[in-house]
Chain A
Amino acid sequence: MIQKKVSDAREALQGVSNGMTLMLGGFGLSGIPENAISELMHQGFNNLTCISNNAGVDDFGLGLLLQKKQIKKMVSSYVGENDEFERQMLSGELDVELIPQGTLAERCRAAQAGFPAIYTPAGYGTEVAEGKETREFNGKMYVLEHAFRADFSFVKAWKGDVAGNLIFKGTARNFNPNMCGAAKITVAEVEEFVPAGSLDPNQIHIPGIFVQRIFQGVNYEKRIEQRTVRQKAQYGIG
């Protein structure tokens, strides 16, 4: 078995340098690589380009790197819920490329799958398509979108093993599988690092071939952005 395990976030980040392009999994705060983000903050890398669906909130997720002005450019689909982000964007300190969510996912997947670009109907006729090649297929217009080119991909999984095999949980899966193998080096952090052979090969979401480094994450906060609940009393329960 090819061994992918590294001891911690510090070792997992070896080779990261200022000015690099990074992919980071997660949707909102769900499924974000908390340990990698924290380590990127502590090591103080700057001028980073970050490809991630969202930019965290003011004091968590990628918001931590924004506060320290470590990010030069964000490539995202939705950036609400973050005042510091908005301030930096409107003042021109931060370069922001907003792209459709499905396009973001597919530009990751294209990089993973060896496609240089894909055609999508999303954004045709809008400012997202300005300056891009368009083409008609079967009477409908499509926009050419290029695969991402990134140095590191940081993903978070629920379970993983020494071979780098990954299993995700619930909607924390989101962009994480699409970013595996989509950068030169993919780093996976997991909530549960399990012994070799204990994952059922039938249940693996991402085979270890897409992952170069894996480590047991620590101190997961797993913050909930919008806590919405029902009261049991209203349903005659409890």
Chain B
Amino acid sequence: MALDKQGIAKRIAKEVKDGYYVNLGIGIPTLVANYVREDIDVEFQSENGVLGMGPFPFEGEEDADIINAGKQTITTLPGASFFDSALSFSMIRGQHVQLTILGAMEVSENGDIANWKIPGKMVKGMGGAMDLVASADNIIVAMMHTNRAGASKLLKQCSLPLTGVACVKKIVTNLAVLEVTSKGFNLLERAPGVNVEEIKAATEGNLIITGEIPEMNI
């Protein structure tokens, strides 16, 4: 069965390693924090200016001055710090953040990503996404394999305006885990109960299948 959003978050959480500073985008990436192993030390950065983000506050304890990049009220954990926007993006562009997890509308087989604009329909802006994808070494995209109309989001070439060029390293979808290589999307894992044919049918870009593809362990 294909994964739901929680399942995608759960699988991505396994990519988060001890000692990592991690930036989580809005949407599925935000859920990843709920599934990170408790025996490792990880700090979550939010680009509006906090490192060491904790869970949502208890009702009545929310503070308008403590929010995340999704404008949600949050708390901080021991060791947390606040900083201004320039310093926040110094952390990002300066590659002090080890892992960036973000959503996407489209990813191409060479690792281009589009997630900020649908011309004529939706123009909300890129926020910090262009800084993040232009700088991070380790970028994982969390998204559904196809859009609501059933069309593939893993393409030969993005059709929407780009957020960044040749930057995505890994993609976790409701169907599969794939890595971006110079030859296209290399299929690493299948979602539980999903077969290779289904993944092939849902992938427009070049899909590389080598040997037996294992099922995700989540």
Interface of A toward B, CB cutoff 8 Å: 27-31, 53, 76-81, 86, 89-90, 96, 98, 100-106, 108-109, 120-128, 158, 168-178, 205, 222-232, 235, 237-238
Contact = CB atoms under 8 A, between A and B. Distances in A.
A102 B164 CA distance: 14
B126 A98 contact: yes
B91 to A, nearest CB: 10
Contacts of A102: 47, 85-86, 88-89, 92-93, 128, 130-131
For the complex of A and B, 3 pairs with smallest distance between CB atoms = A102-B89, A102-B131, A125-B165
Given A78-B124, A78-B127, A173 B58 contact: no
The B contact surface, by secondary structure, is loop
A123 to B, nearest CB: 5
Question: Which of A81, A223, A226 neighbours the largest number of chain B CB atoms within 10 Å of its CB?
Answer: A226
A143 to B, nearest CB: 9
B63 A176 contact: no
B164 A101 contact: no
A158 B63 CA distance: 13
A78 B123 CA distance: 9
Given A126-B162, A237-B58, A108 B86 contact: yes
A106 B89 contact: yes
Contact of A175 (B57, B67, B85, B128): B85
A168 B87 CA distance: 14
Given A105-B89, A126-B130, A174 B49 contact: yes
Contacts of A28: 48, 67, 71
Interface string B121-147: 001111111110011000000000000
Interface of B: 46-50, 55-68, 70-74, 82-86, 88-89, 92-93, 123-131, 134-135, 161-165
Given A121-B93, A124-B134, A223 B64 contact: yes
A158 B1 CA distance: 51
Contact of B131 (A122, A171, A176): A122
Given A28-B67, A178-B84, A229 B73 contact: yes
Given A222-B65, A224-B62, A229 B125 contact: no
Contacts of A228: 56, 62, 72-74
A105 B164 contact: no
Given A86-B123, A102-B128, 16 more contacts: A27-B67, A28-B71, A30-B71, A79-B125, A90-B123, A101-B130, A102-B131, A105-B89, A120-B93, A123-B134, A170-B82, A171-B66, A177-B84, A177-B86, A226-B72, A238-B58
